[in-house]
Each structure stands twice: as C-alpha cells, then as structure tokens.
Amino acid sequence: MLRDWAARERLPGYRAAQLHRRLWQAPAGSWQEATDLPKALRLRLDRELPLARLSLETMQQSQDGTRKYLWRLPDGEAIESVLIPSGKRLTLCVSSQAGCALGCRFCATGRMGYRRDLTPFEIAGQAREIILANPAERATNVVFMGMGEPLLNWPSVSTALTILNDPAGLGIGARHITVSTVGIIPGMEELARRPEQFRLAISLHSADPASRLALMPIEKKYRLDEVLRAARPFRNRLTFEYVLIAGVNDRDADADRLVRVARDLGAHVNLLPLHPGGSADLAASSQQRIRAFAARLRNQGVEAVVRRSRGLDIAAACGQLRVETLQKRHAQP
C-alpha cells in the first residue's frame, strides 16, 4: 500500500522504504512524529494514510516487574497483553481474540465467551504500542498465550507471525516466538507448513483423555491422540503447558502418563501453578506436590520447569483484568 501510494504521489523511489520503516522497525505514533520526513508529506500521510493505534485503558505493574495492559479497540472491545521481564529476556504475551469460545475450566477468559477475532494489526500492534511507550522495551520473545485461541484465528495470526518475525517488521527470531493452542488440528497443520521454525505449545493439562475432557471441552472435537499426532512435525520445539490442579491432574499416575507422551515427542514441560484468577471451584496443587510431580518427570528423563506465578498482586491471569474492569463499570451507578 505504501509503495503504491508513493508511486501515485510521484515520490522518490526511496520514500516507500523510508515510510515502511516507521511502521515496525522504528515505529512512529503518528506521521507527525516521523521528523525524518518533510512536513508537507507528513500532513498528507496523516490525512490519507493515518497510523492505527491501540488505546491503553489501564496498566498494572506487579512488584515482580510483570506488567499487564488492557487495550481498548475502536469498536469498544478490550484485549490484554502481559510483559514479563526475566534477566535479559523480555517476553510479551499477546492476545489473538477478544474473549474465547473454548470454555476451559481454569481460564478467566473463558468466562467472558467469544467476542471476535483480532486483525493482524491488533495482534502485532500490542508489541508496537509498548515500543512506542518505551523503545527500550522491545520484546525479545513473543508468546501467543493471551486471550483467545490463536489457531482459530489463523489468517490473522499467520500475518502477525510474519510481521513479528520478518527483518522488515519487528525482526524477532522464529524460535523466540511460540504459538499456544489447545489442539486445533487444522491450525497446527497450517503452522507446520510454514518454513520458519516457530515453536508450538500445547495446552495439555492432562495426558488422560477423560480427565482432559473434564477440564477442556475441546477434547470432544479434537481427541488427544489426534492432537499428539499433529504435533509430530514440531518434535524438539514443542512445549506442553500443564496447570497443576489439586486432586485433578497432579497424582503420580498423571505424571507417568505425561512422561510417556512428552518423551515420545521430545517435548519440554512447563508446570504452572493454578492462578487464583482462574476458576473458583478448582484448587491449586500444594508446593510440595508440585515439587514431587516435577521431580517424577525429571527422574524419568523429561525436561520440566516449574513456572513461577507472575503478577500475583495484579490481575495477571488470562482475561482477569478485562473481567474485573468490566465488572467495575457495571457496578458504577
């Protein structure tokens, strides 16, 4: 679009690349901020090709450095991003849908239902807005683990992956970008066909189909054995996400089942304590049980990491800030 516009305006050949650079590589909040361009040109651009923005409704910062953003979209919908610092790594968790239709029992997003898919800009723009606020906070890693199921919005997610990864975009290495899914097999197959080495995370939460169905209704449509078969192209760049829930999926037998599927696919396991912002009828496993579960995996040759719950002093559970903000609005007279 910029190239065609520059050609119609009879601008010098280098202008299109100069304009494109201000989208992602050195983003500008508006064309008026792009002071490397002539003033008259900036005025025309603002009038004819204005730069879209996400509107920040609220931001919360945790004592551990985690930051939660709630973005308001032009149609009134709201989405969340989470920025997580860890040493030299700065991981941005992005949303791909407003709400979610999948209704996983432990997830706050599922309580709001599905609203709509996000556009490619609304996804990649979450990273752009943070850079605009502070250029030093350019994400080194991106995970599609925010609101929504990425692989149910594959056309937009695919384009956003290109923007995030391409050197002419944000230039984040493919192995530093992870797409998380509950196991949407057609989307997994599409992702596997891409030439880049993006990483895949599967929200597993149980290696027993019956137990998984009780937590995740999607098991009825895409069975665990089929999901694991579709994951084979991602061998050795695959992660299983596993929220530990007391008395539900944290027993020794659950660990042994997880070992079998993880070893078969060379998968890394992220063990996650149940966040208190999830479901009120589920209880988090004790720290002692979490340690024993992790040790049982490691003793059988599976790489397992217990992830700290970040942002416990803010609304950091997926979808929690949006739900709480909406409740406050409705409570106002």
Q: What is the DSSP string of 152-209?
A: GSHHHHHHHHHHHHSTTTT---GGGEEEEES--HHHHHHHHHSSS--EEEEE-S-SSH
Domains identified in the chain and CATH numbers? 1-51 (1.10.150), 55-331 (3.20.20.70)
Q: Which amino acid is at 82?
A: V
The per-residue pLDDT for 144 is 98
Query: Annotated catalytic residue: which of 80, 122, 149, 241?
Result: 80
122 is a catalytic site residue: no
The per-residue pLDDT for 332 is 54
318 is a catalytic site residue: yes
The per-residue pLDDT for 153 is 98
Q: In angstroms, how far apart are the furthest CA atoms of the chain?
A: 70
Pairwise CA distance, residues 31 & 63, whole Å? 36
Cβ atoms < 10 Å from Cβ of 87: 5
**pLDDT band per the 50, 70, 90 thresholds, residue 331:** low
Q: How many residues does the chain have?
A: 333
Going along the chain, which residue ranges are E strands? 55-61, 67-72, 78-86, 89-93, 97-99, 114-117, 141-144, 177-181, 199-203, 238-244, 268-273, 304-306
Query: Annotated catalytic residue: which of 9, 196, 318, 324?
Result: 318
The token pair at 29 is 């909040």
Distance in angstroms between the alpha carbons of the first and the last residue of the chain: 46
The stretch 329-333 carries a mean pLDDT of: 51
Q: What are the tens digits of pLDDT across the range 55-102? A: 999 999 988 899 999 999 999 999 999 999 999 999 999 999 999 999
Asked if 193 and 230 count as a contact pair (C-beta separation under 8 A), the reply is: no
Pairwise CA distance, residues 100 & 88, whole Å? 32
Q: What is the mean pLDDT of the chain?
A: 92
**SS3 call for 264:** helix
Q: What are the tens digits of pLDDT across the range 115-162? A: 999 999 999 999 999 999 999 999 999 999 999 999 999 999 999 999
Q: Is the pLDDT of residue 309 over 80?
A: no
Burial (Cβ within 10 Å: 0-12, 13-18, ≥19) of residue 193: exposed
**pLDDT band per the 50, 70, 90 thresholds, residue 318:** low
The per-residue pLDDT for 204 is 98
The closest alpha carbon to 256, from 292, 310, 213, belongs to 292
Lowest mean pLDDT among 31-40, 71-80, 208-217, 322-331: 322-331
Pairwise CA distance, residues 213 & 227, whole Å? 13
Q: Is the pLDDT of residue 314 over 90?
A: no
**pLDDT above 90 covers what percent of the chain?**
84
**pLDDT band per the 50, 70, 90 thresholds, residue 110:** confident
